[in-house]
Amino acid sequence: MVPGGQKLNLSGDRYTVDYLLTVDEKKARPLAEHICYEQTVEFPGDLIPDGEIKNQIVGRLESLERIDKKRSVAKISFAVEITGFEFTQFLNNLFGNISILPGIRIINIDIPESLLSISKGPRFGKQGITNILGVNRPLICSALKPLGMSAEQLAEQAYQFAAGGIDLIKDDHGICNQAFSPFKERVVKCSEAVKKANQKYGTKTLYLPNISGPAKMIRDWASIAKESGVGGLLISPGLIGIDTMKSIAEDDLINLPIMAHPAFNGTYVVSESNGISHGVLYGLLMRLAGADMTVFPNFGGRFSFSRDECLDIASGCRRPLQGIKPTLPAPGGGMTTDRLPEIIDTYGKDFVLLIGGGLHRHSDNIKRNTENFREMVDKI
């Protein structure tokens, strides 16, 4: 028995997590009760004396609802104070140890205002980005690729995209600091190319280099990018840590729009009985971690997301959250021009349309291909 009788000065505010439990009916309640302990005290209940730790720190099973023989939803609430009001610990309380248990998937989180204070949310958000670009239509984004091209070649590609009137150009997320195209050289050259095209053609294209490199370089790379006059940053939080992305997003000296990329963290969503739902991971959590735009694979492309899963992400990006701006969904992957109407029907006007190979397909004239695509979007 550990000592009891602590005074913890808790506010009574709690956040609530909906866990989808994919286990036999009989096992749902024991598992839900287990989560309450595993995600907090990680200690046998019978060795904790009555008191605030047992009654308030241990998670509280608010409800357990049966969906069918194999699935139930447990709503479990937690005292906001267990997060220490830090995003990393919040993630740990949501899913730390239980990420190792099969059959548990986070499908929703309700967060009271007191806990939302741990996030500044997107700095620019939907409105901020569209204000910079001065448009009120879906935004178009393409990627500099393929890996193996030199900084000069990528800069020439960037020039063509910008000349054609694209809104956003990102590095391909696999292009970082390889010898064929070292980070600084590429960022300076691509940034200059985009500025030149913007001046010549009156376009407003933003260039977003990929800064998802070594932990000790990320802040410096963000500064180098900033000094080079880039329009935003591409970050893969699955590679560098979600809170590392958040720290760059919240950095007043960097002060740039952030585009989050799903590299390496798809595993959280791909199994329907484990992990974290599409809407929570790519919508809500990316938004709380400061992503102004969140990249994910569109339905019907070369990945496996369904239309509903994509809508779930859009909902996580847009649902009302006290003081937190909306994030722009950025679906992509196998996008072709003929799918435009269906895609706009799904996302409305407020989203970023990622198009990759599609802009290289019609001809070698990237400027012309971009202009044509931009015209199609302008007509919407």
Give, as ranges, the residues between 320 and 349 that touch its own copies (CB under 8 A). none
Cβ proximity to its own copies, 129 vs 218, nearer residue: 218
Helix, strand, coil in percent for the chain, rounding step 5: 45, 20, 40
Q: Which of the stretches 90-98, 134-142, 310-318, 343-351 binds its own copies when contact is defined by CB under 8 A?
A: 90-98
DSSP symbols for 270-322: HSTTSEE-HIIIIIIIHHHTT-SEEEEEPTTSSS---HHHHHHHHHHHHS--T
Cβ proximity to its own copies, 128 vs 174, nearer residue: 174
The reply to whether 253 sits near its own copies by the rule CB under 8 A is no
The reply to whether 15 sits near its own copies by the rule CB under 8 A is no
Q: Which of the stretches 14-22, 68-76, 148-156, 347-355 binds its own copies when contact is defined by CB under 8 A?
A: 148-156
Cβ proximity to its own copies, 159 vs 350, nearer residue: 159
Q: Rounded distance, CA 177 to CA 191, Å?
A: 16
- 140 DSSP assignment: E
Q: Rounded distance, CA 43 to CA 54, Å?
A: 10
The reply to whether 1 sits near its own copies by the rule CB under 8 A is yes
* Angle 316-320-326 from CA coordinates, rounded to 5°: 60
The reply to whether 149 sits near its own copies by the rule CB under 8 A is yes
Cβ proximity to its own copies, 150 vs 337, nearer residue: 150
Quick count: other Cβ atoms within 10 Å of Cβ 3? 8
Residue with tokens 């506010």: 11
| Phi, psi (deg, nearest 5) at residue 47 | -100, 5
DSSP symbols for 70-105: TEEEEEEEEEGGGGTT-HHHHHHHHHTGGGGSTTEE
Q: Rounded distance, CA 113 to CA 8, Å?
A: 20
Quick count: other Cβ atoms within 10 Å of Cβ 247? 18
Cβ proximity to its own copies, 130 vs 274, nearer residue: 274
Task: Give the total of residues touching its own copies (CB under 8 A).
Answer: 92
Select the residue interacting with its own copies from 17, 23, 32, 41 (CB under 8 A): 41
Q: Of 247, 253, 241, 187, whose CA–CA distance to 212 is shortest? A: 241
Cβ proximity to its own copies, 1 vs 136, nearer residue: 1
Select the residue interacting with its own copies from 26, 68, 100, 136 (CB under 8 A): 100
Question: Using CB under 8 A, which residues numbered 287 to 306 contact its own copies?
Answer: 297, 302-305
Nearest distance from C-beta of residue 72 to its own copies, angstroms: 18
The reply to whether 259 sits near its own copies by the rule CB under 8 A is no
Select the residue interacting with its own copies from 264, 337, 343, 376 (CB under 8 A): 264
The reply to whether 258 sits near its own copies by the rule CB under 8 A is no
Nearest distance from C-beta of residue 201 to its own copies, angstroms: 22
Question: Using CB under 8 A, which residues numbered 179 to 198 contact its own copies?
Answer: 179-180
The reply to whether 53 sits near its own copies by the rule CB under 8 A is yes
Q: Rounded distance, CA 26 to CA 18, Å?
A: 19
The reply to whether 215 sits near its own copies by the rule CB under 8 A is yes
Position 342, amino acid: E
Q: Which two tokens stand for residue 1?
A: 């028995």
The reply to whether 40 sits near its own copies by the rule CB under 8 A is yes
Cβ proximity to its own copies, 52 vs 62, nearer residue: 52
Nearest distance from C-beta of residue 23 to its own copies, angstroms: 12
Q: Rounded distance, CA 165 to CA 140, Å?
A: 9
Nearest distance from C-beta of residue 318 to its own copies, angstroms: 22
Residue with tokens 């023989």: 69
Select the residue interacting with its own copies from 268, 299, 347, 351 (CB under 8 A): 268
Q: Could you tell me if 211 and 233 are in contact, meaning their C-beta atoms sit under 8 angstroms apart?
A: yes
Cβ proximity to its own copies, 97 vs 131, nearer residue: 97
The reply to whether 112 sits near its own copies by the rule CB under 8 A is no
